[in-house]
């Protein structure tokens, strides 16, 4: 069943609240979600939409499960981080929906950055310096995959499968749907790849795949970034005639070598191609895509819940992640509600002084943080407590109630005000919560 915003998905060690739908396809939906620690994640749900044949659906289901299996073995800062697959089983379940939970890479695809650059620069491709920097990062990522015990071949490198991580300021590989373990089989079972980027061996069930398969795709991607066109898949380019004369000869030679139709004439590994690019001494010192308009990180949390923990200032724009006064990292404030019979939920504190309690329309009581939906027994009072921010410090004030307010297991006297620390355990009657202060991004 398709998940909907506001619903929760229970994982092995965490619960995920669906925030919004990012995209939909023939085999499922991609969501932005949030875990109980306020980390944003991406969830890919694979289910039968009825748009594919039974055989095709079964095959794609196997690919989805293999993608999760491959990602679970990867730990590299330039590759999207795997969190978990649901259900957490060693074998592909015979039926039922499948879920893949990964980090949310904030930014844009390399395709979007490249297209935006060309639109704003009279259809010109990237400068050679940026192309070399991108190439070196991709060689590092793919070289890491090749070095793993299973010797993973990525197979489908293209600008759409590379994300610019605007927080970490680096390129990341994101889609492993066609990746495979080369130590299990070196034959292409069917034509998987994208025309314009895939080498000849990906279209033949007789040809063997190898690390050189990925070095070809790196070269094809760099060729497009330098020229605006993908190379002819049937002919090895012999020159860059007709394109910008400013492309250094050394860079042209590296790209043409990687695009040789005969694998034996290519770079045998991504590491070898990295060394060839590095010796050109063209890569800039700043992040690879900084000078070509790649987006910067933005704040995905509500503006009114944010403040600077160093100076107490409130950000002026909803996209800011650093304080305009002291350059400290902006933080957000929230309440993690831990109901007895429901998944955890996060509620933002969007006022400097927030009343917590239960809504009572008849009595005209509308607290800033409404706990009614977590309080089936109606034990929480209408005006149960107040949380106030004073500069960079927070305080809890208990109001007159039938059921007490507790901090760290101790009752807070009526009218008393006590300081709050991050992750403090709060109890409003029998409803347990945590007070949470955290950075708006993970630096």
Q: What is the pLDDT of residue 190?
A: 53
Mean pLDDT of 371-388: 96
pLDDT at residue number 189: 52
pLDDT digits (tens, 9 = 90+) for 105-145: 999 999 999 999 999 999 999 999 999 999 999 999 999 99
Answer whether residue 185 shows pLDDT above 90: no
Q: Residues of the chain with pLDDT > 70: what percent?
A: 97
Mean pLDDT of the chain: 93
- Asked which of 5-9, 34-38, 245-249, 426-430 is least confident by mean pLDDT, the reply is 245-249
pLDDT score recorded for residue 186:
54
| The residue to which tokens 């927070």 are assigned | 394
d(CA 31, CA 417): 40
Confidence grade of residue 205 (pLDDT, cut at 50, 70, 90):
low
CA-to-CA separations, 284 to 118, 133, 142, 269, 345, in angstroms, rounded: 20, 7, 21, 24, 44
pLDDT at 11: 94
Domains of the chain: 8-103 (3.30.200.20), 107-292 (1.10.510.10), 303-439 (2.60.200.20)
Residue where the block lists tokens 């005006």 = 383
Per-residue pLDDT, 193: 75
Query: pLDDT tens-digit profile of 9-28?
Result: 999 989 999 999 999 888 88
């Amino acid at each position: 069943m398709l998940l909907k915003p506001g619903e929760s998905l229970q994982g092995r060690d965490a619960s995920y609240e669906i925030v919004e739908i990012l995209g939909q396809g023939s085999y499922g939906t991609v969501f932005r979600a949030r875990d109980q620690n306020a980390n944003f994640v991406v969830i890919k749900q694979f289910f039968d939409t009825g748009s594919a044949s039974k055989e095709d659906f079964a095959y794609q289901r196997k690919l989805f499960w293999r993608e999760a299996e491959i990602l679970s073995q990867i730990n590299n800062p330039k590759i999207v981080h795997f969190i978990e697959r649901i259900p957490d089983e060693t074998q592909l379940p015979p039926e039922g929906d499948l879920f893949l939970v990964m980090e949310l890479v904030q930014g844009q695809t390399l395709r979007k950055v490249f297209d935006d650059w060309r639109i704003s620069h009279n259809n010109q491709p990237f400068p050679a310096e940026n192309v070399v920097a991108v190439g070196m990062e991709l060689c590092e990522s793919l070289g890491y995959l090749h070095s793993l015990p299973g010797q993973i071949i990525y197979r489908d490198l293209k600008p759409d499968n590379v994300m610019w991580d605007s927080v970490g300021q680096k390129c990341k590989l994101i889609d492993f749907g066609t990746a495979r373990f080369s130590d299990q089989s070196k034959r292409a079972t069917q034509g998987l790849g994208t025309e314009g980027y895939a080498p000849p061996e990906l279209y033949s069930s007789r040809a063997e795949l190898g690390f050189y398969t990925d070095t070809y795709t790196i070269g094809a991607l760099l060729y497009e970034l330098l020229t605006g066109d993908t190379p002819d898949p049937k002919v090895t380019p012999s020159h860059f005639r007709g394109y910008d004369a400013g492309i250094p000869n050394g860079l042209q030679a590296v790209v043409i070598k990687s695009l040789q139709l005969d694998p034996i004439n290519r770079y045998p590994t991504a590491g070898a191609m990295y060394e060839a690019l590095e010796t050109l001494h063209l890569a800039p010192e700043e992040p690879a895509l900084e000078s070509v308009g790649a987006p910067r990180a933005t704040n995905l949390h509500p503006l009114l819940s944010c403040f600077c923990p160093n100076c107490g200032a409130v950000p002026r724009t909803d996209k800011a992640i650093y304080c305009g006064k002291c350059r400290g990292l902006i933080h957000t404030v929230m309440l993690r509600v831990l109901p007895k019979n429901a998944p955890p939920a996060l509620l933002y504190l969007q006022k400097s002084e927030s009343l917590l309690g239960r809504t009572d329309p008849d009595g005209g009581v509308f607290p800033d943080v409404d706990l009614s939906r977590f309080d089936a027994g109606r034990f929480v009072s209408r005006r149960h407590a107040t949380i106030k921010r004073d500069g960079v410090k927070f305080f809890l004030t208990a109001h007159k109630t039938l059921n007490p307010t507790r901090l760290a297991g101790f009752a807070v006297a009526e009218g008393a005000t006590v300081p709050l620390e991050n992750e403090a355990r709060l109890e409003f009657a029998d409803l347990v919560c945590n007070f949470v202060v955290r950075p708006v991004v993970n630096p």
